[in-house]
Amino acid sequence: SQTIHQWPATLVQPVGSPLSLECTVEGTSNPNLYWYRQAAGRGLQLLFYSVGIGQISSEVPQNLSASRPQDRQFILSSKKLLLSDSGFYLCAWRGFSFGNGYTFGSGTRLTVV
Amino acid sequence: GNSVTQMEGPVTLSEEAFLTINCTYTATGYPSLFWYVQYPGEGLQLLLKATKADDKGSNKGFEATYRKETTSFHLEKGSVQVSDSAVYFCALSPSPVGGGGNKLTFGTGTQLKVEL
């Protein structure tokens, strides 16, 4: 069966520090991968998605970047965090079946102080 | 473009009350429709789905029927429990015309609070 792992679960980082959040998927190949941010515990904002190794599409220009160095690995990064980067970050994957939705990871709670 | 509209929350109910959370959508063709649930501090979980008109998705006592004529996918439960307190997201997947990263379009979420 397919599983998705996301870590760390919580992170407190000072303003100006770098960031690296990692997401890996098991049990499938060539998934579509997504990074979302959720502010104030409500709406979802799509940040990046990837349809293959090295292929990254950015939905919202910002202080963050994403990379996909391996088929089932998706990394969210920042060189210098801002206070406004605080939020709940969710990774998700999706196969190519039309009827299937996303499977989400358990999320990372990032607090920038 | 595609869009999903959900009723504003929070929705506060007493235990055993009937629940309806409205969801309407705008999309071309025949999208798939989904309801996700997010418990506090957790990621989203798929609750139910429907892939064609008049399909009814159901899970854990929750139901939603894909109504193409009214472009709606309202979530219902006959008797809610305190453990159902969570945020509920309606989402759509556009018809498989290819490209665009196979993305889902989400509503803004509706918070449900169930009290004893």
Q: What is the pLDDT of residues B102-114, one digit of tens each?
A: 789 999 999 999 9
**Residue B71 pLDDT class (50, 70, 90 cuts):** very high
CB contact under 8 A, B46 and A32: no
Cα distance between residue B67 and residue B75, in whole Å: 12
Cα distance from A43 to chain B (closest Cα, Å)? 5
Residue B101: its pLDDT value, please? 63
What is the average per-residue pLDDT within B88-98?
80
Residue B66: its pLDDT value, please? 97
Structure tokens at A51: 């349809």
pLDDT above 90 (res A41): no
pLDDT above 90 (res B22): yes
Q: How many CB pairs under 8 A join A and B?
A: 61
Minimum-distance CB partner of A98 among B91, B93, B111? B93
pLDDT above 90 (res A14): yes
Residue B100: its pLDDT value, please? 58
Angle value at C-alpha A57, between A41 and A25, nearest 5 degrees: 65
Cα distance from B42 to chain A (closest Cα, Å)? 6
CB contact under 8 A, B101 and A32: yes
The residue ranking higher by pLDDT, A62 or A28, is A28
Residues contacting residue A93 through CB under 8 Å, at least 6 positions apart: A2, A4, A25, A28, A31, A32, A33, A34, A102, A103
Residue A98: its pLDDT value, please? 60
User: A20-38, pLDDT tens digit by residue?
Assistant: 999 999 988 889 999 999 9
The residue ranking higher by pLDDT, A63 or A60, is A63
Interface mutation vs chain B, best among A7, A42, A55, A93, most B CBs within 10 Å: A42
Contacting residues of B for A104, CB less than 8 Å apart: 36, 43-45
pLDDT above 90 (res A62): no
Identify which of A51-60, A91-100, B66-75 has the greatest average pLDDT.
B66-75
**Residue B9 pLDDT class (50, 70, 90 cuts):** confident
Contacting residues of A for B102, CB less than 8 Å apart: 32, 51, 94, 96
Q: What is the mean pLDDT of chain B?
A: 92
Cα distance between residue A59 and residue A34, in whole Å: 10
Question: Which of B8-22, B31-45, B57-71, B93-107 has the lowest average pLDDT?
Answer: B93-107
Interface mutation vs chain B, best among A104, A109, A111, most B CBs within 10 Å: A104
